Every structure is written in structure tokens, then in C-alpha cells.
Amino acid sequence: MRQLLCLAAAALLSACAQQAPVKLYSGAEQPTSQVLVVEMPNTLEVLNINGQPAPEANRMVGNSLRQLELQPGKYRINAYFENGYDVGGGLSHEIVRTRSATFLVNGQAGDVWRLEIDEPSNLREAEAMEDDFSGYAVNTRTGERVASEPGPRYVSMLGQMFGGGSVVAAQDNGIAPLGAAPQAQGAAAPAAIPAPSQAAAPAQTLPHDASTLATLKQIYLMLSPEGRDAFLEWAAQ
């Protein structure tokens, strides 16, 4: 048990230190001047980008702005607010998760767009925006502000993989802009795996990466104290 807790603490510290921008385009790494950077507060979680799940976008933790690197172009980023609040004098906490908002970004190479929201200051304010969440996408170079549109409700990564009806991205994390031209002839297109609701598929396993760890952490935080004890007992076996 002690070894398990030490490993979990080490993984958390490692994740906190990993604050490099997240590359969400295919191919070789490009300089910042050639890509579109999207910044967002740590209380925003990405549901999908252009309809494609992007678990890597949520892998960073801590209080710093998250930075996503994309190909220049148009994007519809569905993101939702999620944060925990102490209740009962700090004896427990409650997680508030809103429905998503669709942030509209149309960026050129070298642009930095920032997703901005009105951060609630307490649990009551957070609960008030559970079904009425919105924000702005702001071009930090030109000052252009684009209001978000109402987005879909939250679906967990596990829900998307096992019956949520979405398409699960393959190992290639590249997300193309809306209306992008087909890949050059001879280039291998990223494969897509239909969700079980669309076609029969063999049993799937979660990848061993930071995004999987982040998902497991979220599930653990949602458990009751009894559920956490049962989980730790099972993990120690």
C-alpha cells in the first residue's frame, strides 16, 4: 500500500512539472511561429476539438495556463468548466462540471488565441452555470473576441470509448482544421476505431500515458470515501 501511494505521488509530481505545450497536429514538430497556439485556464477541460476526442489536451495539471499547439485554421473547441470546492468545513469536497461551450477559433501561423471564462468565486456561483456555461475566444494579437456557442453535454472519455457513440482517436493525436484538404497522396491517414455502438470490436485497453492517468484521477476524486478505500484495497492486491 505504501509503495502504491508513493508511486501515485511521484506520478502527480511528474505531471505537475510537465507544463510544455501539447502538440495536437500530425507530423514533425514545428516552431511556435508556424503553429496556432490556444491557451486556456486550468479549470477548462476539452471535450473534443472539431468533433474528435483530444484527451492529450487535458494532460497538464497545476495553476498554469494550458497551451495547445494546432495547425493554423478553423476549430470548434468544445470545453467545459470543472473544479472542486470544499464543503462541510473542508471534510469533503464537491466537483462541479458544466455542460460544454463551443469556442470558435480561426487562427493564422504564430497566432495565440486564449479561451476566457468568468471564473466563479464559490460553489454557489459554479452551480449556477452548470447548464448555462459560456465564454470567449480572444485573439491576443488583434484583440478579436468571439462569443462561444452552447455545446454538448459532458461525456467522459470512458463513455466515449464504451458506448458513447463517438469515434475514438487512434494513436496519432493529429487534429486537422475544419475544411482542411485531404492528406497528400502516399501519406498514411490516421485510423479511427468505431465505438462499440457502431460496430462490433474486440475488447479495448486504455493507453499507458498521462491522459489515462488524468482520467483515473478524476474517477478517483468522484468516489465516496468508502469507494476510495475499496479501490485502494483492490489496487494493493
The model carries a pTM of 0.67
Looking at residue 146, its pLDDT comes to 98
Cα-based distances in Å from 189 to 28, 174, 192, 224: 15, 10, 9, 43
pLDDT digits (tens, 9 = 90+) for 135-169: 999 999 999 999 999 998 876 655 555 544 444 44
- Residue closest to 206 by CA, chosen among 169, 155, 175: 169
Examine residue 39 and state whether it is found in any structural domain, yes or no: yes
Examine residue 174 and state whether it is found in any structural domain, yes or no: no
Examine residue 184 and state whether it is found in any structural domain, yes or no: no
Examine residue 211 and state whether it is found in any structural domain, yes or no: yes
- Domain count across the chain: 1
Examine residue 197 and state whether it is found in any structural domain, yes or no: no
pLDDT digits (tens, 9 = 90+) for 23-73: 999 999 999 999 999 999 999 999 999 999 998 898 766 667 899 999 999
Domain that holds residue 114: 2-161+205-235
